[in-house]
Amino acid sequence: MHIRPFVEADYPSVTRLFNAAYCDFAKDVEEMRFRDSHYPSDCHWARWTAVTDEGAVVGCAEYNQTPYALHPGKFNLDLAVAEHCYGHGIGRALYDTVLGALGEFELVHVASWARQDMPCRVGFLQRRGFVADVDLRTSTIDLKGFDWMRWQDRLDNLGRQAIGVRSFAELGVNNPDVQRQVYDLWSEVRHDVPLPPGEMRTPVPFDEWWPHLAGNTSFLPEAYFFAVDGQQLVGTSQLFASPVDGELRTGLTAVRRSHRRRGIAIGLKVHALRYAQRLGTHRVITDNAAENKGMLAINTELGFVQNPPWNRYVKRFRQEPDGSVNG
């Protein structure tokens, strides 16, 4: 086995390894390729693969930075090893390669994710000084048992407030004015999405945001829904394609502060689930920060069942200039 830089031909193998290690966040090859090709120019990332003498890819690892919360000294670590190769030192070799490459930066921390029912992964990180600091919950709903008629009153509630539900496709996904309205909504509600401790949001210009959304192979304009009050978009709930057969993933569900506590979020979720069910989707998977009690309560009420929790593990290398370890 030897470690080498990632090459184009590795995409199928790396995607399979990624989907096994991060099973609740599966991607297909084209989505992986799109993500790589659309990293913002100011974000650093690099990837390596572990390859046997016969040419089989049995592990991969990368460092990257979070575009929407960019910090020059904070990096993410994604690492995956084929299950039949556990215990052979492949993860250690990949980790050492990534940490060696990160030596050129003034590191503040490196963060990685593990699900609590993955003891090998959790132990690997803990033995290297990583400490959990974020609790993320993924949940799934079986649409075969979803009776959306039970939630008709939630949809009627929107009508009583003269709030309509329209998809991106219906509004005009190619209309520049509509794109700007969607960006305006996203720019407001993104500030209410919980961030890990010490993280700060960074500006995302429209010319960066729109191509990243529109070109993504998982983007479904007909399943990207908005609550519309008059001429204003006041809320959103989205479904994205998944490589898992019969599955859709949720994106952001959020409502402007001016329209909170009016039942808009749950109405949008019911509308989206009804759409997915009529499409023949078997299940929908979502994820929420554990601290987002409001959205977790909505999902539980609708019948989502929580999977084993995920934790973000962080290894800190130096303090911030203000003396804060978190940054």
Domain annotation for the chain: domains and CATH numbers: 2-107 (3.40.630.30), 139-306 (3.40.630.30)
- Whole-model pTM? 0.92
Partners of residue 113 on adjacent β-strands: 312
Summarize pLDDT for 120-166 with one digit per residue, the tens: 999 999 999 999 999 999 999 999 989 999 999 999 999 999 999 99
Instruction: Kindly report the average pLDDT of the chain as a whole number.
Output: 95
**% of the chain surpassing 70 pLDDT:** 98
- Alpha-carbon distance 8 to 6, whole Å? 7
Helices (H), ranges, the chain? 11-21, 29-37, 90-101, 119-127, 152-160, 168-171, 176-189, 206-214, 264-278, 293-302
Burial of 286 (0-12, 13-18, 19+ CB in 10 A): buried
Q: Are strands 74-81 and 109-115 parallel, antiparallel or unpaired?
A: parallel
Summarize pLDDT for 18-44 with one digit per residue, the tens: 999 999 999 999 999 999 999 888 999
Residue 168's identity, in one-letter code, is F
Burial of 90 (0-12, 13-18, 19+ CB in 10 A): buried
Tokens for 162?
A: 């003269």
Give the list of residues 6+ apart from residue 256 with CB closer than 8 angstroms, or none: 185, 188, 189, 234, 235
Return the number of other C-beta atoms located less than 10 Å from residue 282's C-beta. 16
Tokens for 127?
A: 């033995």
